[in-house]
Structure 1
Amino acid sequence: MDAGLAAVLGALAGSFATIGAALAAGWAQREGARISARSEHRRERREPRHDTYKEFMSVAATVRDVVAVYAIDTDLTPVEYANEETENRLREASFAVKDKWVDVSLAGPTSIAKMAYQIERASYLAILEFSGYRQCLADDDEKSQYARRVFRKNLLDVSRQLDVLLVNFVDAAQIALDDDGSRKR
């Protein structure tokens, strides 16, 4: 190989190396900017999400607490507890869950919104079961006694379901709030 060809090939190799380094540096810079922008976006959403999740969990816990009394033995829960005041408290809390569910759904992410929807449905179911139970208390015939047992069992199931859903929601909310956007999904 003569000296001229070696010089040209050396210059080409140097040019390709410089172009490759420039492309790699540009890609790294663009990727760094994307990560920074995404991280900043997540940081800006974190505080409003925190407040929204906290409010939602608070009202959902109220629904759970009202029906949790029915998660214990039938003989230990006084029938007098199933009164209009308790039903109104449950109804108000369930409506508050529905209102906060909308806020949580808008705050996102989708996985949290889906869990919030399950909690909202369970809280609505709690109203239906509690109202049915109260209606069965008025009559003392055999059919009403059977229906009362069914509603009590359903209240037990709803109470347990709400408890599990809330624990899962808290775990998922913590993960969503800890996500700084630096990792791709």
Structure 2
Amino acid sequence: MDAGTAAVLGALAGSIATIGAALATGWAQREGARITARSEHRRERREPRHDIYKEFISEANQLSHQTGLYLSFDVDLMPDDITEDRRQLLSGVSAALDEKALEAALAGPKRVTEAALETARLSHRLVGSALNFQGLTEERHQRMRDSVRKSLLAICRRYERSLEGFVFQAQSALDDDGSRK
């Protein structure tokens, strides 16, 4: 090989190395920018989600406290009837929970949405069962009252588990830094 060919090949090798280094540097910068943008996006989504989840849990706990007396293992401790004030209170808390469930569902992600909607669905069943006591005060309704009490106890337990599941899903969503797929 003569000196001219060696010089051309050397220049070509240097050019290829420079182009490769530039491409690698550009790719690394794009990846760094993408990671930074994704991290910022997650931070911006986390803050409102935290507040939305917190409000949903607060409303769900309010309903849980209002219906907690139905979780008694002793059916004699359960109230025999629901007053109109309690009926309105339960309906109001359920409606507020619906609104917060919608907000939590829209905030996502999917697993949190599913947990929020399940908790809201069970809250309707819970309030509906609690309100079924209304009007079952006569002696002839005793068998039906016993059935409603058993159903109510089962729904209360499912509601409590559902709320716990939502809390765990919300924590997981808030802790997700995007490094897991």
Asked if TM exceeds 0.5, the reply is yes
SS of the residue corresponding to residue 94 of structure 1 reads: helix
- 2:157 matched to 1:160? yes
Match of 1:25 in 2: 25
Query: Once the two structures are superposed, what CA deviation does each residue of 1:95-128 show, in whole Å capped at 9, x if it has no partner?
Result: 0010111211222222212211111101111121
Q: What residue number does 1:89 align with?
A: 89
- Bigger Cα displacement from structure 2, 6-15 vs 148-157: 6-15
Q: Verify: 1:123 aligned to 2:123, yes or no.
A: yes
Kept in 2, the 8 Å contact 1:104–1:116? The answer is yes
Matching of residue 173 in structure 1 with residue 173 in structure 2:
no
Task: Give the partner amino acid of 1:168.
Answer: G
Matched, 1:13 2:13: yes
Task: Tell me the CA shift for residue 164 of structure 1.
Answer: 1.2
2:138 counterpart SS class = coil
Which residue in 2 is equivalent to 1:140? 139
Whole-Å separation in 2 of the counterparts to 1:12 and 1:48: 55
- Equivalent positions of 1:104-119 (< 5 A) are 104-119=104-119
Of structures 1 and 2, the one scoring higher in RCO (CA 8 A, sep 6+) is 1
SS of corresponding position for 1:135: coil
Counting matched residue pairs gives: 181
RMSD (CA atoms): 2.1
Q: Which residue does the alignment assign to 2:147?
A: 150
Q: Deviations over 1:158-179 (max 9, x none)?
A: 2111211111111111122223
- TM-score, normalised to structure 2, is 0.87
Q: Is the 8 A contact 1:68 1:156 kept in 2?
A: no
- Structure 1: gaps spanning 5 or more residues: none
TM norm structure 1:
0.86
